[in-house]
């Protein structure tokens, strides 16, 4: 067990160092950085697939992690990063499935994993895009309703002012 997990350690340690570096980098220079996001995709996918290659059966339960990383990049930075991460993941996971004796010995699982790293992020990106579009439509509709309500309030105030003025005129006419 220990000897089999030893090759996973470089990927795991690299992933932790990379994660700490991301946090520090974001603290120093907050905000979007195309270079930092691109590097994050590449390092995420490389570290995760390295562990899949090196760990075989011991990391098989975590085979979904490249797909989750692609979804995360897409949700944080937009669909283009989901597509980019998905493409990188597809290449690297396919290479792992080809190079690893464990994954070659389990073709149905390997094929399912390759499909998952493509289908899940693309589906999540489509959902995210749709939710963003629907949210914008709802916000636009809410703005229109606010305008209609403001216009109705203004007309009601004008009508009340007119009625108050007519009431005063009527009262003056009765007094005369």
- Record the tokens describing residue 34, joined without a space: 């195309």
Burial of 25: CB neighbours in 10 Å, binned 0-12, 13-18, 19+: middle
Contacts of 166 (CB under 8 A, 6+ apart): none
Tens-digit pLDDT string for the chain (176 aa): 567 767 777 877 888 888 888 889 888 888 888 998 999 999 999 989 988 998 888 888 889 999 999 999 999 899 999 999 999 999 999 999 999 999 999 999 999 999 999 999 999 999 999 999 999 999 999 999 999 999 999 999 999 998 888 888 877 766 66
For residue 147, CA distances in Å to 68, 144, 155 come to: 42, 5, 12
Q: Answer whether 0.75 is exceeded by the pTM.
A: no
Can you tell me the distance from the alpha carbon of 166 to that of 169, in angstroms, rounded to the nearest whole number? Answer: 5
- Record the tokens describing residue 71, joined without a space: 């979804």
């Amino acid at each position: 067990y220990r000897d089999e997990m030893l090759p996973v350690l470089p990927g795991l340690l690299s992933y932790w160092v990379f994660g700490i570096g991301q946090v520090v980098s974001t603290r120093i220079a907050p905000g979007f950085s195309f270079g930092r996001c691109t590097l994050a995709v590449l390092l995420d996918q490389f570290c995760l697939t390295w562990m899949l290659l090196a760990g075989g059966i011991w990391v098989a339960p975590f085979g979904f992690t490249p797909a989750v990383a692609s979804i995360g990049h897409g949700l944080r930075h937009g669909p283009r990063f989901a597509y980019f991460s998905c493409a990188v993941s597809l290449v690297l996971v396919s290479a792992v499935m080809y190079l690893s004796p464990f994954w070659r010995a389990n073709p149905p699982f390997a094929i399912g994993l390759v499909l998952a790293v493509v289908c899940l992020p693309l589906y999540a990106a489509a959902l995210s895009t749709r939710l963003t579009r629907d949210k914008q439509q709802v916000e636009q509709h809410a703005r229109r309703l606010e305008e209609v309500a403001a216009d109705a309030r203004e007309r009601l105030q004008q009508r009340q002012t007119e009625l108050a003025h007519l009431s005063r005129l009527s009262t003056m006419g009765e007094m005369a």
